[in-house]
């Protein structure tokens, strides 16, 4: 179903990111525009025995610049990413939470996997010591995915709706959609929302290798993520966090907030088909895009740009291309279509939010970043994917797609804000 709330419009007033190509929105956006790849050899552990030896790691992140040592020691990397992205998003929004009714501010931040590094390290402790006595009492609170929104609420004293979403790659788009619904129905005036992930660890890389989901282009990591290219061979693992400040428009206007864009509609569907492969012809994706458009009160002809899920997998890219054609018909060939994952890799549960930020910046600046590494077009992928060079593009309405293992589909429709 599509979700139709009362006339409480929802706008974006702040954004923060931690990504493989930038630790703030402006650096991230400029990196995307110039086609900078975040891929490189894995430095977190010895990956010599793994089929995939590279990933899109976050560079230069220092949690100690943003939190005390005790908090850093008691939080997994994914939570640290979320806390810092939230800090920068709140600063960007100029929202003084101490002057707000903090029962009207909520947090929904999702993670597809949660504290995988914490699990790995604690399991190593058990194996090395031969028993469970050395397991940290903070093991479970550090690992569980809902601890990121919990920690955010504690840091700022926020007492509105607070939880985590988990739907694989669609996780943070679902988080944003849930936050949108809660504001629409009057349960909150402001929502801090998005996703965080830090799964570039031995079991993360090994697990996706076992599925044959990752690229193994070890000789040229920066060329490995190549959505819609004929020679793509899988996705590249990424990590990081992206946080959006969603706000009821009247609340934003009263405090003279900067408004980036409006979240106009959402579409959530299920494939009910296969644990990893999309439904034939992208049938579930077709319905999610159509629902987002309907929810916004628009038509397919109003959409100017699609930020695709675009993972660089052989099946997924063909399916999404077919879905876009299924929704937009001949108009699909006249739209801008691109993949942020070509540069930052796949941030798993944080992907939707990171790509939403790119979509919003595209609306703000009337520019679309390139899909890099698109050198040999796949005949089945024949849309305008903005190959290799950014383009100026007049954008009033855009859709950001994310699709997750388990058949989860989420489409977010953003539009230029007009009073």
The residues annotated as belonging to the active site are 169, 309, 346
How many beta carbons lie within 10 A of that of residue 233, not counting itself? 15
Residues near 26 by beta carbon (within 8 Å), at least 6 away in sequence: none
Sheet holding 397-404, edge to edge: 162-163, 105-110, 190-197, 240-248, 10-18, 261-270, 408-415, 397-404, 305-307, 336-338
DSSP lists the bridge partners of residue 142 as none
CA pair distance 278, 405, nearest whole angstrom: 8
CA dist 175 and 110 (Å) reads 6
Q: Angle 300-253-99 (CA atoms, 0-180°, nearest 5)?
A: 130
Residue 22's DSSP bridge partners are 19
Distance CA 264, CA 180 (A): 9
Q: Return the bridge partners of 94, or none.
A: none
């Amino acid at each position: 179903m599509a979700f139709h709330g009362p006339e409480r419009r929802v706008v974006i007033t702040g954004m923060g990111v931690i990504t493989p190509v930038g630790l703030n929105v402006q650096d991230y956006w400029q990196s995307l525009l110039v086609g900078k790849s975040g891929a490189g050899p894995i430095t977190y552990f010895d990956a010599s025995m793994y089929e995939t030896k590279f990933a899109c790691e976050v560079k230069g992140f220092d949690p100690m610049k943003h939190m005390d040592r005790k908090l850093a020691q008691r939080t997994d990397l994914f939570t640290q990413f979320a806390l810092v992205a939230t800090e920068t998003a709140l600063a960007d929004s100029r929202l003084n939470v101490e002057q707000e009714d903090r029962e009207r501010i909520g947090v929904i931040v999702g993670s597809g996997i949660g504290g995988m590094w914490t699990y790995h390290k604690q399991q190593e402790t058990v194996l090395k010591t031969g028993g469970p006595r050395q397991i940290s009492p903070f093991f479970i609170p550090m690992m569980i995915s809902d601890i990121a929104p919990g920690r955010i609420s504690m840091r700022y004293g926020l007492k509105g709706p607070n939880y985590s979403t988990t739907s694989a790659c669609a996780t943070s788009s679902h988080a944003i959609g849930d936050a949108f619904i809660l504001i629409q129905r009057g349960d909150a005036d402001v929502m801090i929302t998005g996703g965080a992930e830090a799964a570039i660890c031995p079991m993360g890389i090994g697990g996706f290798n076992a599925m044959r989901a990752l690229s193994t282009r070890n000789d040229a990591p920066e060329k490995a993520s190549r959505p819609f290219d004929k020679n793509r061979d899988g996705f590249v693992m990424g990590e990081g966090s992206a946080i959006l400040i969603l706000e009821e428009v009247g609340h934003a206007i009263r405090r003279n907030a900067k408004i980036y864009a409006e979240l106009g509609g959402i579409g959530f569907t299920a494939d009910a088909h296969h644990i990893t492969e999309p439904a034939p012809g992208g049938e579930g994706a077709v319905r999610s895009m159509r629902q987002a458009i309907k929810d916004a009160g628009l038509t397919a002809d109003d959409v100017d740009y699609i930020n695709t899920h675009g993972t660089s997998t052989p099946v997924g890219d063909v399916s999404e291309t077919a879905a876009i054609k299924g929704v937009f018909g001949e108009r699909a060939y006249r739209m801008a279509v691109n993949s942020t994952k070509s540069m930052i890799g796949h941030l798993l549960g944080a992907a939707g939010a990171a790509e939403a930020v790119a979509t919003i910046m595209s609306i703000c600046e009337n520019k679309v970043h390139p899909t890099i590494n698109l050198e040999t077009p796949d005949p089945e992928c024949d849309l305008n994917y903005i190959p290799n060079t950014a383009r100026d593009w007049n954008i009033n309405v855009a859709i950001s797609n994310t699709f997750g293992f388990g058949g989860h589909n989420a489409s977010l429709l953003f539009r230029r804000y007009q009073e």
